[in-house]
Chain A
Amino acid sequence: MTRLAVRKTYKLYIGGAFVRSESGRYDEAGGVNYPRASRKDVRDAIAAARKAAGPWAARTAYNRGQILYRAAEALESNRGRFVSGQEVDAAVDVLLHYAGWTDKLQSVLGGINPVAAPFLSFSLPEPTGVVGVIASDAPPLLGLIAEISPVLAAGNVVVAILSETEPLPGLDLAEVLGVSDVPGGVVNLLSGRRQELATALGAHRDLNAIVDATGDPGLATELDKLAAETIKRVRHGAAATSYEEAVGDALERLEAVTELKTAWHPVGA
């Protein structure tokens, strides 16, 4: 007698919980149903992310590096879950690369300013806060990892909109992250219709930055206009299709989601 398989119900990943879309809507891909997130889900995800932002940024760089490394371990051990093993390999390597950035970014982007006055003045990069990522359609896993890894390594939290054509690898990644040490709310993953979700993300007033990897000029223009309303930082780029493309401009990716803070402390008097 053949055993009946236990099917998986794909869910959104918001605030560390696996949830259906509050709208109750779903789409179907390859015989599998998956949630079609709503604008309200975007808002919920941003609220969850905001809650997680402070504690994530407050962890030591060493600790964040270890957590991202642990996520890479979890991804590697879940290699079989994904269709393309090669893509997983590249994604793990990218995650590993950025895990190593957490405790180096300050030294590379920051430093002591030799000011002409009796002050210890230094400038250090800090996370910008909550970053919205709009992933490319392909490659669905590597493209996503390439965008969220630098954002996380720089100390930010993420609300990501997954590939519209192939959302399942992103939703599978949620299950990998769910069992890693990444705290709930630090990564939030939403499947659904890009246009609807991306504009909700762009228009949200409590989002600090947008990383758009779709390469869609129409969407780019729309996002830029929405971003202007609250002076959000925006980075547009093409989808990374290899390890090299994901790390070749690592410093620019990291810098795009940081704020440089200059502090002046008195010396003497």
Chain B
Amino acid sequence: MTIETRTSIVWDYAPAPESADHIRLKDRYGLFVDGEFRDPRDGRYVSTINPATEEPIAEVADGGPDDVTAAVESARAAYPKWAALKDLERAKYLFRIARLIQERSRELAVVETMDGGKPLRESRDVDIPLAAAHFFHYAGWSDKLRYGVNAPEVEPLGVVGQIVPWNFPLLMAAWKLAPALACGNVAILKPAETTPLTALLLAEICQEAELPPGVVTILPGDGSTGAALVRAPGIDKVAFTGSTAVGRDIQAALAGTNTRLTLELGGKSANIVFEDAALDQAVEGIVNGIFFNQGHVCCAGSRLLIQESVRDEVIAKLWQRMGRLRLGDPMDKNTDVGAINSAEQLERIETLVAAGEDEGATRRTVSCDIPERGYWFAPTLFTDVSPAHRIAVDEIFGPVVSVLTFRTQAEAIEKANNSRYGLAAGIWTDKGSKAFEVASALKAGVVWQNTYNHFDPTAAFGGYKESGFGREGGPAGLRPYLKIVR
């Protein structure tokens, strides 16, 4: 095992922490059912903690089986009226929600960062604005559904059960709720166990928007709550974003039922750097591809494929750039790499990184000050990686990039496609025709040329192969929530 350490250049940044004094969090959040916050039936509350400090932030209800039943009853009761509402009126509610998210964006960003550990710069500039944009986009679809899916007559499905992960808590809630509601469904959303707070603030926003009770239910809880939700009678559609293992369980659990399903699962996305790329720009893109949100990104560019002729140069530039990444207090506006979301996730990263070393890859981890409390993992680069190594095959979901090389374009495509996943890919080249050719050959749902981790509500997102099925974003995002009548 070799952990290369080096003295990083000291950049004197004064701390620039975002203030949290305007945040009005309650000590305790119940389940949001029937338009109001309620105690769970079995009275269980758990603390949600700040992963950067390990301090509890608030107590949050943990929904049990009885709560799932109550949630479905309330949603079923709300459904007929919501589905029958004039479509433009439905749109107006969603526009209101979009506006309220914008109004409360600073508060939402701070809470997102406190609860999940991601740098404030990211929650402020990416998560929250995109969440608002998503509601705004789908609000406008509410009265244009038949154009979106090319069908003269469509109907909503009914009650949808939605489970979102902890990496983009509010944004994923928006990706799920906005199209579901626009199509006339009512939704029961289960936020992730470690990051329930912004979804609960979104529940407050639903109240503020005077959304009819039962149209949106927020049911915090753990995996067992989610398992109960997807199996609950009265659920017409399930939408899940999370790991492939859980997605597989859900698909099997719904076998033989008429419950519709879409899955957005894991990835091991290839980020391909060709020798004719603008290398400095590519290095920025590699960093954004894998270290954005501590690598807790399903489409993270975790397999870096570099053309052999520029391998040494790219790795040298990348390693130098990695040394400038600022790891630490997520609330600091200069922080690049925040806290790992949970102790459990940190352990998973450590296990896979250890496997990488055991299997013979060369590890380099940036030497930087690690805060005393909280969960942290310094940016890490693996070279001498073989395509069979676990670090080249399994999703790490952390700030760890595995470098592979290629000689020809054909080899790059073959290596990139050699994965059971197919969520995303990056291409770095300044040659347009090559970019188009490679993009069309990659078996991945999203392909970025000379950029990475770029999202937009108008652009479909979702995977090939074991990265799931169904799309979110744009008109394609309407299909999973509609029944085509004719």
Contacts and interface: CB of A to CB of B under 8 A. Distances in A.
Contacts of A228: 248-249, 251-252, 255
A261 B445 contact: yes
Interface residues on B, range: 35 or more
A262 B446 contact: yes
B247 A231 contact: yes
B222 to A, nearest CB: 22
A262 B461 contact: yes
B236 interface: no
Category for how many chain A residues contact B = 35 or more
A121 interface: yes
B451 A121 contact: no
Interface in B455-480: 456, 458-462, 464-469, 471, 473-476, 479
Nearest to B421: A231
Interface in B250-279: 251-252, 254-256, 263, 265
Interface in B220-255: 244, 247-249, 251-252, 254-255
Interface in B105-148: 133
A264 B450 CA distance: 9
A40 B256 CA distance: 27
A239 B277 CA distance: 52
B256 A224 contact: yes
A121 B256 contact: no
Contact of B445 (A221, A227, A233, A262): A262
Nearest to A259: B464
Given A113-B459, A249-B484, A261-B444, A266 B450 contact: yes
Given A231-B247, A264-B447, A266-B451, A123 B474 contact: yes
A80 interface: no
A247 interface: no
A128 B256 CA distance: 22
B407 interface: no
Contacts of B464: 128, 259, 261
A102 B256 CA distance: 32
A123 B466 contact: no
Given A220-B256, A261-B444, A261-B446, A231 B459 contact: no
A261 B438 CA distance: 13
A251 interface: yes
Interface in B357-376: none
A89 B440 CA distance: 37
B365 to A, nearest CB: 31
A25 interface: no
B290 interface: no
Interface in A105-154: 108-109, 111, 113-117, 119, 121, 123, 126, 128
Interface string A36-48: 0000000000000
Of A114, A128, A222, A262, most buried by chain B (CB within 10 Å of CB) is A262
Interface string A236-262: 000000000000110110010001111
B334 interface: no
B449 A266 contact: yes
Contacts of A208: 465
B325 interface: no
Given A231-B468, A252-B484, A123 B256 contact: no
B166 to A, nearest CB: 21
Contacts of A217: 256
Given A113-B459, A260-B462, A260-B476, A119 B469 contact: no
A36 B435 CA distance: 47
A221 B259 CA distance: 12
Nearest to A205: B420
23 contacts: A108-B150, A113-B456, A113-B459, A114-B458, A121-B458, A121-B459, A217-B256, A224-B254, A225-B256, A229-B248, A230-B420, A231-B247, A231-B263, A259-B464, A260-B471, A262-B447, A262-B460, A262-B461, A262-B473, A263-B440, A263-B449, A265-B435, A265-B436
